[in-house]
């Protein structure tokens, strides 16, 4: 049996399992940003940011997919031209090289085993819960459609590639469906052009009832894929609303150190763990801390506003000046370690998950990907 090629859609499906797009913040732009789910894939590369150096490395290594943590396409695009050095321009350039771009961003931050969980593990803190909750993001639809026996696999592959077939934030499986054989009947009028049978003739066809589920936000893409792949001129399908279990995760994590230590000691531990040259500390360096809030990247006021559970210190990448003053006024210590520096450890975890599920696909982290800052 000849092994079929892995596709861009299957890579996106694994990423949906690792970091479900429904978990992303409403302002974010995550998922498959460019490319075609049907393109074959032999090489995948990962990076924090899409820079000129990353772009050139991806092209040189002939990768077909770049998974880039920060979305290179964020604001509305007014032109699609090859040229320029900003992330959006480079994403268009990669598309010209037939390289698909996928971004997980805040979906990966929120997901279990994602950015913040990895950061906690790296600094030696045990996660006890989420700082916030991803409330109201767990809604699914069930897709039911009817396909001639000979074309069911083609239709299934198309809807899976568009984001269907993955069950829940904790699920270990993608491409999930239920199929049952039966008989479909129809009769087209004189203007019909049926794929099976003849216009104005009552037809009976052996069909498969095909069921799968999808996040509500993927409905348009999945239905478009269904219509394109389905052999019928007017395929019949139902979308049924499902009530999923409440999400257990949200942005940020709460965690406990194995024992008390000073704020300065924690900062030193974080520097060594992340291999960074500096740490910015807000608060008395001699203050003893144990309960930690973690927000990789930029925390903003997220760990201040609407957070009910008390903690001693926030570990994050960066804060604005007035935000630092707000945490200081609230009596909360802060350790800032660099924006991408706190996010970067998750790339290795994502790469491992991709290798596990995409057998035969080469997965690499871009060697040219680095922080835009140089510290002297």
Q: pLDDT grade, residue 217 (50/70/90)? A: confident
Average pLDDT over residues 182-192: 82
Tell me which of 209 and 245 has the higher pLDDT.
209
Do 115-134+249-342 and 6-104 have the same topology in CATH? yes
Where do the domains of the chain lie?
Answer: 6-104, 115-134+249-342, 140-242
Q: Which of 306, 329, 304 is nearest to 316 (CA)?
A: 304
- Residue 23, both tokens: 């978990």
Let me know the angle formed at the C-alpha of 235 by 234 and 240, rounded to the nearest 5 degrees: 130
- Here the tokens at position 134 are 């991803």
Q: Work out the pLDDT band at 85, boundaries 50, 70, 90.
A: confident
Q: pLDDT category, 138, cuts 50, 70, 90?
A: low
Reduced to 3 states, what is the DSSP secondary structure of residue 31? Answer: strand
Q: Is the dihedral of CA 14, 17, 19, 24 positive or negative?
A: positive
Architecture of the domain delimited by 6-104:
3-Layer(aba) Sandwich (3.40)
Topology of the domain comprising 115-134+249-342: 3.40.1390
d(CA 50, CA 34): 13
Evaluate if residue 78 carries a pLDDT over 60. Answer: yes
Please list the residues that pair with 179 across neighbouring strands.
Answer: 210
Asked whether residue 2 carries a pLDDT value surpassing 50, the answer given is no
Taking phi over 0 as left and psi of -120 to 50 as alpha, with beta for the rest, 374 belongs to beta
The pLDDT score that the predictor gives to residue 34 is 94
Q: Which pLDDT band holds residue 246 (cuts at 50, 70, 90)? A: low
Please give the pLDDT value at position 33.
94
pLDDT on residue 1 = 32
Q: First and final CA of the chain: distance in angstroms?
A: 57
The whole-number pLDDT of residue 197 equals: 67
Q: Which pLDDT score, from 0 to 100, does residue 187 have?
A: 81
| Residue listed under structure tokens 């200081």 | 328
pTM above threshold 0.85? no
Is there a contact between 263 and 284 (Cβ–Cβ < 8 Å)? yes
Q: Report residue 327 as tokens.
A: 């945490």
What's the CATH fold of domain 140-242? Alpha-Beta Plaits (3.30.70)
* Residue length of the chain: 376
Q: Which of 5-19, 195-209, 359-373 has the lowest mean pLDDT?
A: 195-209
Residue 243's pLDDT band (cuts 50, 70, 90): low
259 neighbors 311 (Cβ within 8 angstroms): no
3-state secondary structure of 4: coil
């Amino acid at each position: 049996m000849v092994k079929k090629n892995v596709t861009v859609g299957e890579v996106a499906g694994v990423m949906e399992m690792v970091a479900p797009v429904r978990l992303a913040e409403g302002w974010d732009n995550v998922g498959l940003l460019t490319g075609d789910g049907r393109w074959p894939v032999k090489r995948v590369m990962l990076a924090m940011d899409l820079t000129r150096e990353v772009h050139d490395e991806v092209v040189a290594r002939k990768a077909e997919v770049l998974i880039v943590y920060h979305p290179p396409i964020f604001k509305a695009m007014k032109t699609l031209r090859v040229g320029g050095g900003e992330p959006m321009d480079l994403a268009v350039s990669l598309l010209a090289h037939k390289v698909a771009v996928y971004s997980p961003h805040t979906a990966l931050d929120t997901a279990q085993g994602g950015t913040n969980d990895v950061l906690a593990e790296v600094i030696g803190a045990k996660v006890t819960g989420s700082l916030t909750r991803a409330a109201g993001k767990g809604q699914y639809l069930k897709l039911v459609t009817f396909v001639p026996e000979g074309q069911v696999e083609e239709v299934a592959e198309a809807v899976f590639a568009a984001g269907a077939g993955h069950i829940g934030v904790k699920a270990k499986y993608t491409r999930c469906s239920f199929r049952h054989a039966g008989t479909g009947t129809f009769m087209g009028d004189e203007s019909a052009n049926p794929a099976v049978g003849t216009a104005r003739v009552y037809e009976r066809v052996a069909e498969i009832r095909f069921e799968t589920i999808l996040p509500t936000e993927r409905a348009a893409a999945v239905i478009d894929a269904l219509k394109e792949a389905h052999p019928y001129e007017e395929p019949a399908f139902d979308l049924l609303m499902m009530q999923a279990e409440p999400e257990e995760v949200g942005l940020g994590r709460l965690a406990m150190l194995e024992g008390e230590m000073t704020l300065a000691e924690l900062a030193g531990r974080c520097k060594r763990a992340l291999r960074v040259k500096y740490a910015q500390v807000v608060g008395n360096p001699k203050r003893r801390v144990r309960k930690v809030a973690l927000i990789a990247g930029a925390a903003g006021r997220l760990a201040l506003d609407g957070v009910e559970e008390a903690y001693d210190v926030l570990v994050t990448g960066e804060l604005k000046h007035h935000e630092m003053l707000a945490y200081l006024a609230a009596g909360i210590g802060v350790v800032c370690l660099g924006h991408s520096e706190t996010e970067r450890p998750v790339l290795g975890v994502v790469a491992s998950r991709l290798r596990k599920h995409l057998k035969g696909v080469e997965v690499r982290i871009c060697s040219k990907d680095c922080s835009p800052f140089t510290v002297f």
